[in-house]
Amino acid sequence: MVQQSPDTLAVALAQLNPTVGDLEGNLSRARAARREAAEKGAQLVVFSELYLTGYPPEDLVLRPAFQRAAREALESLAAETGDGGAGVIMGTLWPEEGALRPKNAAALLDGGAIKGVRFKHHLPNYGVFDELRVFAPGPMPGPIAFRGVRLGIAICEDIWQEDVVECLAETGAEIIIAPNGSPYSLGKRDARLNVAVARVTENGLPLVYLNQVGGQDELVFDGCSFVLNADCSLALQLPSFEECVTVCHWRRGPDGWRAEAGERAIVAEGDEEIYLATVTGLRDYVEKNGFPGVVLGLSGGIDSALSAAISTDALGPERVHALMMPYRYTSQASLEDAEACARALGIRYDVLDITAPVEAFSEALRPLFGNRPADTTEENIQSRVRGTLLMAVSNKLGAMVVTTGNKSEVSVGYATLYGDMNGGFNPIKDVYKTRVYALARYRNAARPKGCLGPAGPVIPERILTKAPTAELREGQTDQDSLPPYDELDDILMALVEEERPLEEVVARGHAPQTVARIERLLYLAEYKRRQAAPGVKITERNFGRDRRYPITNRFREPLGKRVSADKRRKGGSDMEREQA
């Protein structure tokens, strides 16, 4: 049995990567973490929110069979604490007889039994969260006793509100334990720290903030767990995007409990954190869904090159397969750049000429199209042939198709349904085009910790400097159809991320006609985005889980005297451009 003085406490923070629904796998990893923590002298091991079930479990928690299995797994772990080793605070669901929805809970396991359970009081119902849909709120919690220490458990959202921690402090809690499932987004780490500091300042109690790591569908969890003392000093900082079991040592003094200074990991920031988020999200989507690897189209352009680098860093070169699929408009430079990128990454590279299938489609359609002039229809056939070939390779060889459209393109519909939008997952779906260039330059200069690709530059310089083009017609560039990407991205940031009125967007220095056109394209492309592959959430307003606009939508915001009347859809022509 781990010896414990009444005035000391060793608490292990298990910053781990659970898998939703994998009760046995999560339980096995929890057992290993408990053993590791005990070897390091811990008396208590804290796991993240809903660790046992995986987070977020969504409607899975409503299945009675899943509820029973989760309870059995919890009781199994509780029984193991009868060995006299470390106690456990485990995040799990808690069904109750006759209740339609279970509760989001943290259970204290010690001495071979479930010693107590505390429930999440505030259930978030905004952004990516739908917890009111599947959980019932718990009562305001009180402290829970563990070997002579009164612990206040505040689960995730409960520290974002003032009342729960205040109630715990008023009812005798000595240390606040906050298990979290807090998804990554830009700026979230600072927001979490600010909230924790506010709770500590208000109540004068030290706080343990524990977050999970890893990817779950579109969400990525960055960890970055930390411990604050009652004076708001940082006692412990765990790394970002990395599993670890770290022990924090506490001592009780005349002013209460204080954590000794421990690990102070340097967390990722800026382009590094975004890049690691894309790598983590893609890696876990592939691994947790059992794909042997990925395949993607490598065009010689910046988006596919960055996606290839992310894929290689996530899975290793041997699990990435790139296809160059040239047609008559593919330049020699693109052929050279795609091959150079694949060679630098060390991935498999094949060339499949699409001339025959594209011309076969054109010939098959000739009786219907007659002598009508070529337009975006023929351009989209090229993209859809490429999408078909990628899906065929996926079906035959088992690799998942990575799709490579960035957020700027996805916003305005600059993409082809059933063509370049084909795929199982998109690591850069929530990354604007200007940031794509920044991430590519960052990766050429550095290989972040945990990445499996080669060191050194992996994206040829010419890909970074040449004008972006879909190469679906002679001499085409993206700017034939769109404003320059720095201008487009600023408009989109204002419309999508900030929901700014059009007049304010114009006041940023943009032409009224351009702003009105981009707003119109943004609305019209909603039907495409509903059919897009999932992808890593980076911003606070990603398409899908955060920003949920109707497809059928006639609203248009007035902009002075409207610069141009909206057109009704007329087939594909009203999209202004469908291909990528």
Catalytically active residues are 49, 120, 156
Q: Which amino acid, 97?
A: E
DSSP string, 60-104: GGG-HHHHHHHHHHHHHHHHHGGGSS-EEEEEEEE--TT-SS-EE
Instruction: Please tell me the distance from the alpha carbon of residue 22 to that of residue 332, in angstroms, as a whole number.
Output: 48
The count of C-alpha atoms lying within 13 angstroms of the C-alpha of 424, restricted to the half-sphere facing its C-beta, is 24
- Those residues whose C-beta lies under 8 Å from the C-beta of residue 188, and which sit 6 or more positions away, are 182, 222
Residue 464 contacts by C-beta under 8 Å, 6 or more apart in sequence? 302, 437, 440, 441, 444
> What CA–CA distance (Å, rounded) separates 525 from 167?
47
Under 8 Å between Cβ of 45 and 34: yes
Instruction: Tell me the C-alpha distance between 123 and 129, whole Å.
Output: 9
Contact present, 495 and 541 (Cβ < 8 Å): no
**One-letter amino acid of 501:** P
- Quickly list DSSP for 131-196: HHHH-PPPPPP--EEETTEEEEE--THHHHSSHHHHHHHHTT-SEEEEEE--B--TTHHHHHHHHH
Question: What is the CB neighbour count within 10 angstroms for residue 109?
Answer: 25
Assigned token pair, 112: 């071979």
Selection from 139, 100, 106, 134 nearest residue 122 by Cα: 139
Listing DSSP states for 410-477 in one string gives: HHHT-S-TTTTT-SSBBTTTT--HHHHHHHHHHHHH---TT--S-SS--S-HHHHHSPP---SSTT--
Q: Are 86 and 247 in contact (CB under 8 A)?
A: no
- Could you tell me which of 256, 242, 280, 103 has the C-alpha nearest to residue 175? 256
Amino acid at 499: E
Which of these, 558, 409, 545, lies nearest to 481 by C-alpha position? 409
**Distance in angstroms (rounded) separating the CA atoms of residues 147 and 78:** 16
